[in-house]
Every structure is written in structure tokens, then in C-alpha cells.
A and B are shown apart, each in its own frame.
Chain A
Amino acid sequence: MKKRIQIPGLDESSILTDARKILAPQIEDRSRRSFLLRGLTLGGVAMLSGCNITDNQSVDTALSSMSRFNDRVQGWLFNPNAMAPTYPESMITRPFPFNAFYGIDEAPTVEEESYRLEVSGLVADKRSWRLEELRAMAQTEQITRHICVEGWSAIGRWGGVRFSDFLKRIGADTDAKYVGFKCADDYYTSIDMATALHAQTLLALTWDGAVLPREYGFPMKLRMPTKLGYKNPKHIQAIFVSNTYSGGYWEDQGYNWFGGS
């Protein structure tokens, strides 16, 4: 299994370079005969991807609306009672891969003493939380598969507060559409309320029985085995409940917002 350290980002210059590479051979190759010949071969495959179709604004718009349509379909497909498979301890992936939009050395350091989790939006109780208060709540643990949007997966053991317990404790309006997250590494994302209330959605405070280490998201990450990795925010600093769509770091660049099972 290949483990990627960083998710490849949207790099405009490399896309342009790619596009030029693709277009150059086509410009040289204009004869009708070779066009027909290539049409009959796998070269035809290359030609379709070769036309500069992804830079087209209307194509972009169409693909984005398909992605929004897929969000709705996925919300409709989501069964709150369907559980992600759990695994024995022997199957935990070691070492568990680090993954972020930055290198492991740049993972933020959060000081426990000064740390406060902020809560805002459609909630009754907006006071902020210290870590020890979260640790005093009922804890639960699970060994589940983390699936990355890139395709690879890894099994890990996370423990913490069931997120639905936390939402109830803060008096969140669970009829609201979204729960959003802001993180110490400037990452941000938002999820659907149904997933937020799923029994396996954890406000994870530990990894493999120990305090969640910095590289895996200290002081806490939202762990959802029903969602792809980029939907699981780390180093959470603020949680907000809202009816307004707020997207996310990768979602705003084109990753599907629902992003999961």
C-alpha cells in the first residue's frame, strides 16, 4: 500500500504545463487520415482527454452542479443505522500514515493549558470547553478503516466522546443542516447533520489508547468512519451549527462535499 505524505494540490502552473504537453502533439497531427486511424485505436482515448476540456468554464460549472446533485443523492442514500465495519486490534495499520496538506513538521502545536474549544451557531450553550471537561464525558472507542480520497486506506483505533452526545450536551439544534469546523492549521470543513449524529462519529481525543498525538490532530479530531479522510478535521478549535453551507478547504477546490459513504 502506498502512503502519500501530502495530498497533491491544485497547482495552476503544472496544469498549464500538462495542457501544453497534451496540445502540442495534436497541433502537429492534423491530417484526416491519422485522425481516423487514431479514432480507431486507443489513441482516441488520449485525444478526448487531450482537448483542453477541463479548463472550460461551462464544463467546470456543469461538473460542479453534478457534484452538488451527488451531495443530495448521497444524503438520501445515507442510512443512519448502517455501521462501518470494525476490526480487531491486530489489524491496526502501524505506523499509521500522517496525511495533511502540509508536511509532518508543520503540524500545529496546541497547548493544552490555554486550549479552549469554541462552540457557536444554533446551540443553546455557547460556553467554550477545556480538554479535561471533554475527557470527563462518557468515552467510547472504535477500530475502523480510514479511507483517503486518493484511494488508500488504513485501520486505526480512535477513542473519545460520541459526537451526538456532545451535540446534545451543548443543546445543538439537531434539525439544522450543517456542523462546521475550524482548525488550528487553518483547515476547515463542514458535514451534514445526519452524519454528525451517526453512532460512530467521535470527537476523538485518543489514538491507540493514548492521548491523540500532534501528528494525528491533537487536541482533537472528528473521526467519522463513514467519511473520507478530508472530511475528518484535525486540531479542531471551533465547532458551529448552522443552516448555511460553508464548504471546506478541499471542497472549495472541487472535492465532493458529502465525501463519504
Chain B
Amino acid sequence: MSQSTASPKASHPRWLRLTHWLNALAVLVMVTSGWRIYNASPIYEFSFPASITLGGWLGGALQWHFAAMWLLAINGLIYLAFNLFSGRLKRRFFPVSPKGVLHDLWAALRGKLGHADLSHYNQVQRVAYLFVIVDITLLVLSGLVLWKSVQFPLLRELMFGYEGARRVHFFAMALLVAFVAVHLLMVALVPKTLLAMIVGRKEQA
């Protein structure tokens, strides 16, 4: 389990840890306030338990949602910019292929996927993290249609109109929550990743 590989790049640089935790906070606020907003006029035959929502009432939830959206969007752009311009996106996330994902998934299910080098993403991680980047982007874009349907006509049509955008927003949220659930399970199974995300790689024994 030693981290003595001669990798010159830290697996969890400071900007990554910072944007990760700010994103976690933004997602937490956006999802829980979003549930309260959903409850005001449920699309489907269920509501979220009020006790796990944020905002107290619709107006309060909207205030949280429209405040945290700036954190989510700006922090997300900073994360993407760092990834793109440092070359990390290409280095860490590609190549990724269906065959590679299946191979690593099978290895993971048999408990044979190694996590010795945290600076290396296996293909399941790659596809999961790329998925969540796309999913949050979709949440932001469908959210823009809900917020400003008249000002973004092209986006509105791409989201199947205002009512379509409500459903896109909902399902993208559901997929994000599913990602978070799996993500947290994985962290529980490989706890050293949590440490790496908090203090960085150099602190590890």
C-alpha cells in the first residue's frame, strides 16, 4: 500500500481538493433545496420528506437554490478549466473504452482492482467521473432553461421545452444522487482516498 511511486504529480493537488469540497457543498445545497422546490408541485406521485429538504418553505428553498447555483457553476468552470489547461483531463480520464470499463468493473467485483496508485484512475472511475461532469453540466443547462426559458430559446428547444426541461432537471438530479451514493460507498471501501482528498497525497504514510 505504499505511495513510493516516483510520480512527479500529486494525485490530489490543492486546487482539486478545494474544488471537490466546494462542489460537494454546492451539490448538497442544490439537491436538498431542489427537493423542497420539487415538493411545491411534484411531477410524479411522490414528494421528498420535508425533513431532508433545505429552505423551510418554497421561497426559502428558492433562495438557497439561486444562491448556491453560483457556487456550483463557477466552481465547476474553475475545475474544468484547471483540468483542460493542465492536461489533466486528457492524462487522467483517457483513454476510456467500453471494453476497458467492463474489464475493470469485473476486476472490481472480484476484489482484484488495485488502488495502490491513487493518481491513476481505473476505467470505471474514469467513466464515472466523466459521467458526473456531463451530468452536472446537464443540470446547469436544464436549470438555465427553467430559470430563463425566454432568454435561452435554443437551449429550451434542446431540453424539449420548459416542461421537458423540468424532467431533464429531475432525472439529472436523480442520476447525480445515484452517483453520490456509489461514490460514498467506494470511499467507505477505500478510506485512504478520503484522506487523500482532505490533506493531499504527501500526508500519507
A interface residues with partner B (beta carbon < 8 Å): 1-2, 4, 7-11, 15, 18-19, 21-22, 40-42, 44-46, 48-50, 53-55, 62-64, 66-67, 70, 74, 77-79, 82-85, 145, 147-153, 225-226, 250, 253-256, 260-261
Contacts and interface: CB of A to CB of B under 8 A. Distances in A.
B163 A153 contact: yes
A253 B55 CA distance: 13
A17 to B, nearest CB: 10
A254 B61 CA distance: 10
B64 interface: yes
Contacts of B161: 85
B150 A48 contact: no
Interface centre among B42, B63, B187 (most CB of A within 10 A): B63
A115 B75 CA distance: 54
A4 B66 contact: no
Interface in B134-178: 146-151, 153, 156, 161-163, 166, 177
9 contacts: A4-B40, A7-B58, A10-B57, A49-B51, A49-B54, A63-B63, A67-B66, A151-B41, A254-B62
5 closest Cβ contacts across the A-B interface?
Answer: A254-B59, A261-B150, A150-B40, A150-B41, A66-B67
A209 to B, nearest CB: 24
- Among B32, B67, B150, B181, chain A packs the most CB atoms within 10 A around the CB of B150
Contacts of B29: 48
Contacts of B187: 40
Contacts of A145: 162
Contacts of A45: 28, 31-32, 52
Contacts of B43: 2, 151
A82 B51 contact: no
A235 B40 CA distance: 25
Interface residues of B, number: 45
Interface string B10-29: 00000000000000000011
A42 to B, nearest CB: 6
B59 A253 contact: yes
B41 A64 contact: no
Contact of B181 (A42, A70, A260): A42
B79 interface: no
A195 B22 CA distance: 35
B24 to A, nearest CB: 10
B37 A151 contact: yes
B150 A225 contact: yes
B60 interface: yes
Contacts, number: 121
A82 B156 CA distance: 13
Contacts of B59: 10, 250, 253-255
B66 A46 contact: no
A149 B151 contact: no
Contacts of B148: 74, 77, 261
A74 B67 CA distance: 13
A42 B162 contact: no
A153 B145 CA distance: 14
B150 A84 contact: yes
Given A45-B52, A64-B63, A148-B41, A8 B162 contact: no
B81 interface: no
B38 interface: yes
Contacts of A250: 59
Nearest to A48: B28
Nearest to A66: B67
Nearest to B42: A2
B199 interface: no
A46 B28 CA distance: 9
Nearest to B150: A261
Given A82-B150, A83-B150, 6 more contacts: A48-B28, A49-B52, A77-B148, A148-B41, A226-B150, A254-B62
Contacts of B50: 18
Nearest to B180: A42
Of the listed residues A11, A49, A62, the one surrounded by the most CB atoms of chain B closer than 10 A to its CB is A49
